[in-house]
Amino acid sequence: MRIRKNAVITAVGGYVPDTVLSNHDLEKMVDTNNEWIVARTGIKERRIVNDPGVATSDLAVRALKRLMSDAGVTPHEIDCVIVSTSTPDYVMVSTGSIVCEKAGLTKAWGIDTNAACSGFLYALTLGASMIESGRCKKVVVIGADKNSSIVNYSDRNTCILFGDGAGAVMLEQTEEPVGLMDSFFRTDGSGKENLIVTAGGSRFPASQQTLDDQLHYVRQDGRVVFKAAIQGMTDTCNEVLQANDLLSSQINYLIPHQANLRIIQSVGDYLGLSGDQVKINIDRYGNTTSATIPLVMWDYKDDFKYGDKIILTAFGAGFSWGATYLKWGRLRKAAQE
Ligand code: ACO
């Protein structure tokens, strides 16, 4: 009998900047108020980079270094780093390449992927494929975004939502019945009308006109995104459950992308999950795009037990969306000094 070789998460790391941007701070910047933000989004505060010298790779490196020190993994053990980000350090030169260099990963290769808020889930499945095939032994998947670099802090429709941060997981092979079991992903490019950073790429390279038109900021139709997110996340959660003969009552936890507490609660309610099964940290970090799911794992890793059945789900620009079925394994622990 062929033994299925799964990719399992064996280490987790996370990092958010020290600077807190609270709802009360935002009240001084745009026409909004704390009550509205908490009631409509569940966000109380978010962390942002306040040092212009800090870019996405710096957030990613800090999450990666925490992962390595907690797990007792040395830089040269890692084969590959996949950085999911919508805010790379540069248009050309991958953030993954910079992360490998800054973290001293001399034997690894690094690349970037971009599927906005769904990006971490997509990158996790790509990383798992590298492990399942036997091509790599240790793959680190990082979700990292410095959203403050694309947010217009005079637009109340968007500036209340986003924060900066990074989360990282390491994948390794196992013959035990745990790890990434399945994923269900979708994209619909027509969604670009409703959520986009228009300029800075090859369609609209940076120019005086794109600056004047403020096309380098994230722009969205929040209501359209809100409805599509609930529908897309719920549908793909159901699809991944059905494909794996699972009832939602058999699920231990839901780790949703943290975009809006009302979106999260709607998806949890549709799946019939109780409040403590749905993991949330949006109140403290806001929407950190690619970093939300690994930051939730980082915050709640002590709650998860071997064999727990966890559904991860996300929705983001593209549109892109999906769900992943994960069985929690064991995390490595560094030897005590
Ligand atoms: N403060 C106070 N009032 C506000 C603010 C604000 N920050 N923003 C909008 N309003 C006003 C609107 O102008 C509107 O006023 P009006 O009725 O006089 O026209 C009223 O509040 C209601 O506006 P809505 O847009 O209907 O508010 P809604 O409840 O939909 O909340 C929000 C807006 C929070 C943006 C919500 O639609 C949302 O979260 N959408 C998802 C967007 C998202 O998460 N994008 C991130 C990337 S994609 C992803 O991660 C899934």
Please, what is the Cα angle at 293 between 270 and 318, to 5 degrees? 80
Question: Which tokens is 190 given?
Answer: 């027509």
Nearest CA to ligand 1 atom 11: 157
* Residue from 143, 161, 144 nearest 218 by CA: 161
Q: Is the CB of 161 under 6 A from ligand 1?
A: yes
Are the C-beta atoms of residues 59 and 166 closer than 8 Å to each other?
A: yes
Probe ligand 1: pick from 145, 260, 285, max atoms within 8 Å of CB? Answer: 260
Q: Is the CB of 19 under 6 A from ligand 1?
A: no
Q: Which of these is catalytic: 117, 136, 159, 237?
A: 117
Count CA atoms closer than 13 A to 173's CA, side-chain side: 14
- Residue by residue, pLDDT tens for the chain (337 residues) are 556 789 999 999 999 999 999 999 999 999 999 999 999 999 999 999 999 999 999 999 999 999 999 999 999 999 999 999 999 999 999 999 999 999 999 999 999 999 999 999 999 999 999 999 999 999 999 999 999 999 999 999 999 999 999 999 999 999 999 999 999 999 999 999 999 999 999 999 999 999 999 999 999 999 999 999 999 999 999 999 999 999 999 999 999 999 999 999 999 999 999 989 999 999 999 999 999 999 999 999 999 999 999 999 999 999 999 999 999 999 999 987 6
Instruction: Catalogue all structural domains in the chain, each as residue range(s) with its CATH number.
Output: 1-337 (3.40.47.10)
Q: Is 24 a catalytic residue?
A: no
Residue 2 C-alpha to ligand 1 middle, in angstroms?
Answer: 51
Q: Which of these is catalytic: 6, 23, 114, 287?
A: 287
Please, what is the Cα angle at 248 between 242 and 251, to 5 degrees? 110
Nearest CA to ligand 1 atom 4: 32
